[in-house]
Structure 1
Amino acid sequence: MRHFYLCFVAVLFLAACGGPAEPIWAPDADVARARYVHDGPPSITLYTVLATRDGSGAHAGLLINGSQRVIFDPAGTWHHPRLPERNDVHFGMTPLMVDFYLDYHARETFDVVEQTIIVSPEVAELALRRAMAHGAVPKAQCTIAISGILRGLPGFESLPSTWFPKSMMTAFGKLPGVKTKRITDTDTNDNHGVLLVQAGDPRLK
């Protein structure tokens, strides 16, 4: 009974990882057109959204910089009308799009913790392939999906299998060479309209 209760609480606790598990599959032409190759080193970045009220974890996403840069945003609600998506993998993650992603999540009630680790090209590519093969993620399963991808990578075996964003963030922070930064925003709105602003951003023209 106690086990059932804890599982039930976990699902409620992670309800902020909203979004349907319905498959989305952008056409090949759109994915090819959006492809973005970042000039930085191969890397994996874990984003953790934390409530400013009590520090609890609300969501997690994974930015992968390999042969192209994408973000795996499992069960997330973020999207951009100019970016194609395949089952929670968003292609074309330029610096501007990363800014949009962070702006969407960081607000008066939520901070975003960014943790980046440099990896070999082979590990980055394996992470990319695993994210693209994962499939659409159901509600409240953002962190367990990320956990499944990371734990299969060389050098990430110590990470836990967990449903909780903050637990994953803590373990990820103990990996050798991780660089951490916290993104804050005092904006009081809930960012539901932020995509409309992004779509009309003059930097996109």
Structure 2
Amino acid sequence: MIRIVIACLLAATVAGCVGPQRPQADFSEIAARSYSDPGPSTLTLYTMISTRTGSGAHTSLMISGSERVIFDPAGSFRADVVPIKDDVLYGITPNVERAYRSSHARETHYARIQTIEVTPQQAEIALQLAKQSGPVAGAFCTNSTAQLLQQVPGFEQISTTFYPVKLSDQFGQIPGVVTTEYRENDSADLQAGLAANNALLNQQDTALAQ
């Protein structure tokens, strides 16, 4: 187990799975930015994978139900227009979702994106579990996501693991999961990607306000 944690920490350091503590939004900020997607209720598992070794580097879960959020345990993503409480990112509009995947996809990593349609009840359970999870310790992104999924009816077969790709493989075996990949070839610097997408989101936000 110690070797597993050490391996996760090494991978997470490269991918941004042990980012510094993020600023905490208050409830008024969250309410102002809340977004509900008009489509069906879904769960979307993101797995950030090294283009060089094929090993997993980060895991997160987008939950689309009564509102759309991303459970981003021990993640590094932050943007001025995205309120964060513990490890939940709020206000996940289509623009924010694109910025999230774009920030992680770069020369050294790509995003495996797996989506499954669920009932509104399943989505609401996942949403409440994410909000109740509290801040997650570095390198426990996959472990905490697996434990959340285990508690959602219909996903009890998910086994706890520290390895992002192993969780992705399990998730992909569930009937109805649609898997895609998202790749970019820009700078390997995660912080550069975060800064660029933050600026883009700010521009889009300003345009919408005019």
Q: TM-score when scaled to structure 2? A: 0.90
Equivalent-residue separation in structure 2 for 1:67 and 1:75 (angstroms): 24
| Partner amino acid, structure 2, of 1:72 | F
Q: Unpaired segments of 5 or more residues in structure 2?
A: none
| Runs of 4+ residues over 4 Å off in structure 1 | none
Q: Which residue is equivalent to 2:10?
A: 12
Q: Which residue is equivalent to 2:143?
A: 144
* Higher mean C-alpha deviation, range 76-85 or range 189-198: 189-198
Q: Which residue is equivalent to 1:43?
A: 42
Q: Which residue is equivalent to 1:110?
A: 109
Deviations, residues 40-77 of structure 1 (Å, cap 9, x unaligned): 10000000000000100000110000100000110001
**Is contact 1:19-1:138 (8 Å) kept?**
no
Q: Which has the higher helix share?
A: 2
Q: Which residue is equivalent to 1:188?
A: 187
How many residue pairs match? The answer is: 202
**Is contact 1:23-1:135 (8 Å) kept?**
no
Equivalent-residue separation in structure 1 for 2:86 and 2:29 (angstroms): 14
Q: TM-score when scaled to structure 1? A: 0.92
Q: Which residue is equivalent to 2:67?
A: 68
> CA 1:176/1:29 → structure 2, altered by over 3 Å: closer, same or farther?
same
For the aligned residue pairs, the C-alpha RMSD in angstroms reads: 1.7
Equivalent-residue separation in structure 1 for 2:97 and 2:22 (angstroms): 23
Q: Which residue is equivalent to 2:171?
A: 172
> CA 1:150/1:189 → structure 2, altered by over 3 Å: closer, same or farther?
same
> CA 1:25/1:188 → structure 2, altered by over 3 Å: closer, same or farther?
closer
Query: Are 2:204 and 1:203 equivalent residues in the alignment?
Result: yes
**Is contact 1:108-1:188 (8 Å) kept?**
yes
